[in-house]
């Protein structure tokens, strides 16, 4: 939360790592029709040390827990939907994945499961929660971004 950022009626300042939200902003914005949660530390911008993995896991859990608290406290204000970004994980170059596909057993799969479970209180209260499970789709017919190309140069890509 940046205290020097003035709320303008469309902005809700928050700091998930500290569990803080500007209650005045929440009141000023008023009823929310939907919330899209894309919060979380980047997964491809730094090496995954044990500390970084904990930061990745915690950043998603902290942000979701704070959203659950804010939205639960705001019940009765017309709010009814949450869309939150998760991921599809694992190497599935030849496998078509859908909602019935098995859950992976790697670090990111476990983070995604924990992250999705954090919205359970909202779902139990009747809020519609969409878990957007997206991943990078690669094609030999398209140019790859420099970030993705770097992963392939390191031998971390699949085709």
Question: Is there a domain that residue 90 lies in?
Answer: yes
Q: What is the number of structural domains in the chain?
A: 1
Q: What is the CATH number of the domain that holds 23?
A: 3.40.50.720
pLDDT in tens, 28-56: 887 777 787 778 888 878 889 999 999 99
Q: What is the pLDDT of residue 159?
A: 45
Question: Is there a domain that residue 50 lies in?
Answer: yes
* Of residues 103 and 152, more confidently modeled: 103
Predicted TM-score (pTM) of the model is 0.68
Question: Is there a domain that residue 5 lies in?
Answer: no
Question: Is there a domain that residue 148 lies in?
Answer: no
Find, among 19, 132, 28, 10, the residue nearest to 81 by Cα.
132
Question: Is there a domain that residue 124 lies in?
Answer: yes
Can you tell me whether residue 36 is helix, strand or coil?
A: strand
pLDDT in tens, 86-131: 665 545 555 666 777 777 778 888 888 888 888 888 888 888 888 8
Q: What is the pLDDT of residue 54?
A: 95
Region class of 30: left (phi > 0), else alpha (psi between -120 and 50), else beta: left
Q: From residue 156, how far is each of 44, 51, 147, 149, 150 by CA, in Å? A: 11, 21, 12, 10, 9
Question: Is there a domain that residue 74 lies in?
Answer: yes
Question: Is there a domain that residue 66 lies in?
Answer: yes
Question: Is there a domain that residue 150 lies in?
Answer: no
């Amino acid at each position: 939360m940046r205290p020097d950022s003035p709320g303008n009626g469309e902005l809700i300042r928050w700091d998930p790592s500290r569990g803080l939200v500007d209650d005045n902003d929440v009141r000023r914005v008023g009823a929310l029709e939907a919330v899209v949660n894309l919060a979380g530390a980047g997964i491809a911008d730094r090496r995954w040390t044990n500390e970084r993995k904990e930061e990745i896991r915690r950043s998603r859990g902290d942000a979701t827990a704070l959203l659950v608290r804010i939205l639960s406290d705001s019940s009765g204000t017309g709010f009814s939907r949450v869309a939150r970004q998760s991921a599809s994980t694992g190497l599935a170059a030849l496998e078509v994945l859908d909602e019935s596909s098995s859950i992976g057993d790697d670090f990111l799969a476990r983070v995604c499961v924990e992250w999705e479970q954090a919205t359970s209180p909202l779902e139990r209260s009747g809020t519609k929660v969409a878990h957007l499970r997206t991943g990078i789709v690669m094609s030999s017919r398209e140019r790859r971004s420099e970030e993705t190309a770097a992963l392939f140069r390191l031998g971390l890509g699949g085709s």
